[in-house]
Amino acid sequence: MRRAVLLAFLASQAAARLAPQPSAARTVALRADGSNFKQAAVARGGASAKSSVPASTLNLAKNIVGSGVLALPAGVAAYSSARGASAPACLLIAALGAVSAYCFALVGRACAATGTSTYRGAWEKTVGPGTGGLITGICSFKTLVGCVSYCIIIGDTGTALAKKLGAPALLARRDVLLSTVGAAVLFPLSMLRDLKSLAPTSMLGLAGMLYTALVVVLRGLDGSYAGDGKMLAALVAEGKPTPAFGTGSSPGGALLLVSMLATSFIAHYNAANFYVELENPTLARYGTVAGAGFSIAVAFFCAVATFGHRTFGSAAQGFILNSFADADALANVAKSLVGVAVAFTYPLLFKGARDGLFELLGSSDDDKENMRTPVTAALVAVTVLAGVTIRDLGFVVARVSSASFVSFALSAGRARSFTPVRS
């Protein structure tokens, strides 16, 4: 824990030193009428309308609500096992959600002010081209860690379902199952040149998350895991941890929850895409998308954190679905949906990590083509190995928080480099 907090502090301090200082050469006028937005859209390849405010809002919410939400009940439990711990936890979720939404909006405003259409472009315009690699490195690291999180989920859900279906013991082993999925599914999908065919699977991922949230809320309300509930009896019979509650709180646990939330709320590397693709892009409309999208995510996070903690208390595991009884049919369906969804959305994240690596290496088009297969195989192997070795999703979500704090600091730093102008 101390190392995680220290990393977060050092990262934020490093970002503060790199943040642009206001100067006459770098101060840019930002217009509220959206003219800067439209110029950036034209520079990117067209000013045609692409996405309405409601559509962009839902897409942003979907972008935020990922695997990190499934670790939040364990984060609340680390803070306190008291039954009422979810109330202050939800206040913390709302506060960090507001900060995250503000920083997300700042990224778009910076892109509009500088007339750029990418996250890295805005940074290079305000700081200098020599530091653009920092942005690429952070975004690549975040997406690679997302792939590791997906492998952990595939390992958890796959082994549980394999045992449930009576698969041979060898196939139910985590290392064998993940290696098989990695070689037969993740690697071929990651080699696809056109990922548009996988876009519909993101909706499957959203459906899986919504269903999982409903299961968590339902089990928190129906008492199946309390008193003489049948699912509590099933947990005992299966030898799994049973719900436990206590008193008091842990300051260190509160910092762990903050770390989880800082990671879970990150969608800032896509902020430029959201503003460029927004229909009639003005500051007000973009701000509405940011505020509404993060508000939906806050509500989602609060629901899962509250009812997951209410059901299991200190027994909540890093991947909340692991806390449910193997005999719980509703939870098993949720595991299946989430497992399949993350397997098919893995390549969408993986592409960002691989492309970022090529960009950091300064690879030419020919080099990218020649290295594409070995680099893809190596990166998939790394994420699979990490998924085999690391079994706590909450551990990964919390420890990557240093990169998240850098993203917050960079957003604030860029905001200092342009001057708002009302027109």
pLDDT band at 406 (very low <50, low <70, confident <90, very high): low
**Higher local confidence (pLDDT), 317 or 423:** 317
Exposure string for 379-396, b = 16+ CB within 10 A, e = fewer: bbeebbbbbbebbbbbbb
For residue 272, the surrounding DSSP H or E stretch is: helix 271-276
Lowest mean pLDDT among 63-67, 252-256, 402-406: 402-406
Q: What is the mean pLDDT of residues 305-332?
A: 93
Which of helix, strand or coil describes residue 360? helix
User: Which residues, 6+ apart, have CB-to-CB distance to 214 below 8 Å?
Assistant: none
pLDDT value, residue 213: 92
pLDDT value, residue 381: 96
pLDDT value, residue 423: 38
User: Could you tell me if residue 242 is inside a domain?
Assistant: yes
Q: What is the mean pLDDT of residues 262-272?
A: 78
Over 60: is that where the pLDDT of 211 sits? Answer: yes
Q: Residue 278 phi/psi, 5° resolution?
A: -75, 135
Q: How far apart are CA 69 and CA 268, in angstroms?
A: 17
Over 90: is that where the pLDDT of 380 sits? Answer: yes
Name the residue range of residue 197's domain.
Answer: 2-24+69-107+151-266+291-410
Q: Give the pTM.
A: 0.77
User: Which residues, 6+ apart, have CB-to-CB distance to 4 below 8 Å?
Assistant: 255, 256, 259, 398, 399, 401, 402
Q: How far apart are CA 346 and CA 353, in angstroms?
A: 11
Whose CA is closest to 68, among 46, 85, 43, 93? 93
User: Could you tell me if residue 357 is inside a domain?
Assistant: yes
How many domains does the chain divide into? 1
User: Could you tell me if residue 92 is inside a domain?
Assistant: yes
User: Could you tell me if residue 131 is inside a domain?
Assistant: no
pLDDT value, residue 419: 46
